Structure 1
Amino acid sequence: MSRFSSLLTVAALALTLAACDASEPALDDAPATADVAMSADRMLDASVLGESLLASLPLQAALDRIGGPLKTRANGAVYTLSDAAGANEVLVFSRDASGALTEAGRVATGGTGSGGGLGAATDPVVLSPDGRFLYAINRGSDDISVFRVTGSGLTLVEVVPSGGAGPLSLAVSQRLVYVLNTGDGGSIAGFRRLGNGRLSALAGGTAPLPAGIGGPPQIGFSPKARTLVVTDRPSDQIVVYPVRPNGTPGAPVVHPSAGVTPFGFDFDRFGRLFVSDANAPAGPVADGSTVSAYSLSGTALSVIDGAVPTTETAACWVRTLGDLLYVTNTASGTITGFRIQPDGSLQILDDDGVTATTGPNPRDLNITLRFVYAQSDEQLDAFRIEADGSLTPVGTVAVPATARGVAAQ
């Protein structure tokens, strides 16, 4: 295929995606088969595709650089939670075209935080797939705040009970929201997302965690939102719930983890599951953390590549973008990058495991366009993703010591 033909094909793809966005049904009318969990924070801009073509990569390789729909948006925003012991707030940072952040204000959630009780949480603040709404956990008051995202900032829409005690993590798809509650034995609670972003509790949408699950840090949807996944650190297990057509959870299936202390996870665009293994059975094992890759078919989980070393300590949070994967190593203060191979196996980008250095104790991280944002002790670090997967620092902003979670667009 000629370079000109490749560019024409890409242009056609962009127009097709734009048409799909314009014709997408209202959330209330979306059928179960149309539900998706791909987040607005996984979009790459057109420059990535252009660079791939100019580098003489095949068209498919260029398309593989795209982690979601083609977007050309230059500026955006990044959000984190204060999780203060009193009134909880969403901290808002504007993002410029270089990826650098500037503090843009704080918005009250209408609930209370926990003063640091979200320490192990993944995704306590999450954008809807279309980027129009933001959902945030108030662990201190056991509820969820819903915000409308506009060009001028965030507007609080409502605050609803989380359906349990001790909410920790959120999973958001086009039509559903699920909350992982870790108090009172632990549970998951489901809500239907209405067209205005509001939440309606699902009848039959609440289920207890299976016996023996005692320290789950994350809940998340598969890309088509047909399954829910929960990792559990103490038991070295992964729980998979089928999602019924009416949105309620089916009977959970519990699988042994390939690595020790499964923590955060993410899916790639092919529906493969990647889990960070902190390897901390009685405290972090020095330079012993790993990442494991799985295939998921229904509720059946199969290992593709088990316990691949990061060579760092306490791998806890993980994100994918196209054929790239990044994981934060909390005890090492680093990010390790991997290239996802066509068969789903993992190839480390840097032999020493250090693709980037962060602030102390990096926790949650997220990706938008071509930028990685990692939240650590009292700071939020920004990195630009280069063509070879390496990360270039583009700046740091201060956040409170209790801050947790990263949502980005």
Structure 2
Amino acid sequence: MKRRQSNPARRAPRFAALGLTAIALAVPLAVGATYFGRAEGAVYSLSNAPSGNRVLIFDRMSDGSLDPRRSFPTGGNGTGGGLGNQGALALSDSGNWLLAVNPGSDSISVFLVFGNHLLRTDVESSRGMQPVSVAIEDDIVYVLNAGSDNVQGFRLAVHGKLIPIPGSRRTLSARGAGAAQVSFNRAGDLLAVTEKATNRVLTFAVDGDGKLGETNVQDSPAPTPFGFAFGRRDQMLVSEAAGGAAAASTLTSWQLRADGSASPITAAVPSQQTAACWVAVTRDGRYAYVANTGSNNLSTYVVDEDGAASLADAIAAQTGAGSAPADLALDRGSRFLYALNPGTGSISAFRVGTDGALQLIEHQATGAAVGGATGLVAR
């Protein structure tokens, strides 16, 4: 399979710019020196506040617990309520760039990441209405505009500005599609979108300039395809919320091909839970975790070498009564799993065992309004 190649000529000046910015941030980094102590990484979420959206930062400690640090304004607004989405935040593979959607002001914010500090470098129109999900691969960014049923591509310039890619916009399969998520595969040469209202999964090939090929439209094997995550060998795991019907949620594994088309490997595997909406897949591709909003818990699926998924544990972990988990994130080493709980204004932290089992570490308050927070990424 042909992979989209990174351009070294573009990448080199970006790192030069990072060095200059590091000097400018030397003083605030000294203040935040705890990041270089017992903290090993960070977890980010969005307040989604209509009066001013903010990125919420938590230090990720060596035992997986979270220490609330600070928040940074995005320069845009949220909506104050649930978006029916996954991927409101995106972190680059390098960990240097964080992108956030502002669904209340139709924009995207870009941040340069240094330790537990963020430097906002741009606030750019999403070229659509109500952006709910964003994805980044190298210097290519795509945003999903649920309110105008389209995706729009951008290039992230070396100075942290988003530049629209001419001819990159694609409309979804129908008006009022109920767009939920946009994301790249691990190689960055394929892009996928889920549509809750039409029960469709859209997939695209991505060329070397970041432009999309033809739109491939696939019918979901079960109603309400929602969140998804990619495993190895272009296997995609998609949750199906079944319109919120009790104990009716499922998960489908898909195989994506080089031309951007896709077909199910295992279709609509029941979880026996309610409103399965968010998915995270371990780095080795062996385990998929699903957040069940209506059941206030998480389920675990095992994924074999060929991408076939089977239910391992219907109730692998509890997130608490009324928590309504609404996003998931694994740290880069897949040692810890985090669940965002807007219903209780918290984040649940779990230790991931070698067998995929989850052990609760804590429920940490987010500081955001109950019911408002959206998006979750970890490093």
Does TM, scored on the shorter chain, surpass 0.5?
yes
The aligned counterpart of 1:251 is 214
The aligned counterpart of 1:329 is 292
Determine whether 1:276 maps to 2:258: no
The aligned counterpart of 1:38 is none
Query: Alpha carbons of 1:296 and 1:372: their partners in 2 closer, same or farther (altered >3 Å)?
Result: same
Determine whether 1:158 maps to 2:118: no
- 1:210, distance to aligned residue in structure 2 (A): 2.3
Contact kept? 2:59, 2:116, Cα under 8 Å: no
CA distance in 1, matches of 2:311, 2:75: 43
Q: Of 70, 74, 78, which aligns to 2:43?
A: 78
- 1:107, distance to aligned residue in structure 2 (A): 0.6
Q: Could you tell me the percent identity over the aligned residues?
A: 36
Determine whether 1:293 maps to 2:248: no
The aligned counterpart of 1:104 is 69
Determine whether 1:235 maps to 2:198: yes
* 2:10 alignment partner, SS class: helix
Contact kept? 2:92, 2:138, Cα under 8 Å: yes
Query: Alpha carbons of 1:147 and 1:373: their partners in 2 closer, same or farther (altered >3 Å)?
Result: same
CA distance in 2, matches of 1:154, 1:142: 21
* 2:338 alignment partner, SS class: strand
Contact kept? 1:27, 1:193, Cα under 8 Å: no
Contact kept? 2:98, 2:111, Cα under 8 Å: yes
Q: TM-score, normalised by structure 2?
A: 0.85
The aligned counterpart of 2:363 is 396
CA distance in 1, matches of 2:9, 2:41: 23
- 1:196, distance to aligned residue in structure 2 (A): 3.7
CA distance in 2, matches of 1:133, 1:326: 25
The aligned counterpart of 1:314 is 275
Cα deviation, 1:46-77, whole Å, max 9, x if unaligned, reads xxxxxxxxxxxxxxxxxxxxxxxxxxx96111
Determine whether 1:355 maps to 2:316: yes
The aligned counterpart of 1:51 is none
Q: Of 242, 266, 276, which aligns to 1:305?
A: 266
Contact kept? 2:229, 2:237, Cα under 8 Å: yes
Query: Alpha carbons of 1:212 and 1:88: their partners in 2 closer, same or farther (altered >3 Å)?
Result: closer
- 1:152, distance to aligned residue in structure 2 (A): 4.4
* 2:53 alignment partner, SS class: strand
Query: Alpha carbons of 1:74 and 1:300: their partners in 2 closer, same or farther (altered >3 Å)?
Result: same
Query: Alpha carbons of 1:229 and 1:27: their partners in 2 closer, same or farther (altered >3 Å)?
Result: farther
Determine whether 1:88 maps to 2:53: yes
Aligned pairs for 1:29-108 (under 5 A) are 29=11, 75-108=40-73
- 1:147, distance to aligned residue in structure 2 (A): 0.6
CA distance in 2, matches of 1:113, 1:392: 33
Q: CA RMSD in A?
A: 1.7
Contact kept? 2:174, 2:198, Cα under 8 Å: no
CA distance in 1, matches of 2:264, 2:254: 4
One-letter code of the match for 1:314?
A: A
Query: Alpha carbons of 1:212 and 1:107: their partners in 2 closer, same or farther (altered >3 Å)?
Result: closer
Q: Of 364, 373, 384, which aligns to 2:351?
A: 384
Q: TM-score, normalised by structure 1?
A: 0.79
The aligned counterpart of 1:182 is 146
CA distance in 2, matches of 1:330, 1:255: 25
Aligned pairs for 1:259-270 (under 5 A) are 259-270=222-233
CA distance in 1, matches of 2:153, 2:165: 6
Contact kept? 1:218, 1:231, Cα under 8 Å: yes
Query: Alpha carbons of 1:309 and 1:146: their partners in 2 closer, same or farther (altered >3 Å)?
Result: same
CA distance in 2, matches of 1:152, 1:93: 8
Determine whether 1:149 maps to 2:113: yes
- 1:349, distance to aligned residue in structure 2 (A): 2.0
Q: Of 83, 91, 111, which aligns to 1:127?
A: 91
The aligned counterpart of 1:371 is 336
Determine whether 1:28 maps to 2:10: yes
RCO higher in structure (CA 8 A, sep ≥6): 1
Cα deviation, 1:119-143, whole Å, max 9, x if unaligned, reads 3121111111110010011111111
Runs of 4+ with >3 A deviation? 24-27
- 1:241, distance to aligned residue in structure 2 (A): 2.1
One-letter code of the match for 2:171?
A: P
Aligned length: 337
Cα deviation, 1:320-371, whole Å, max 9, x if unaligned, reads 0121110001100110011111221122222xx0000013210111100210
CA distance in 2, matches of 1:135, 1:336: 28
CA distance in 2, matches of 1:92, 1:203: 34
* 1:111 alignment partner, SS class: coil
* 1:75 alignment partner, SS class: strand
CA distance in 1, matches of 2:254, 2:172: 22
CA distance in 2, matches of 1:194, 1:304: 38
Unaligned runs of 5+ in 2: 1-5, 13-37
* 2:94 alignment partner, SS class: coil
- 1:233, distance to aligned residue in structure 2 (A): 1.1
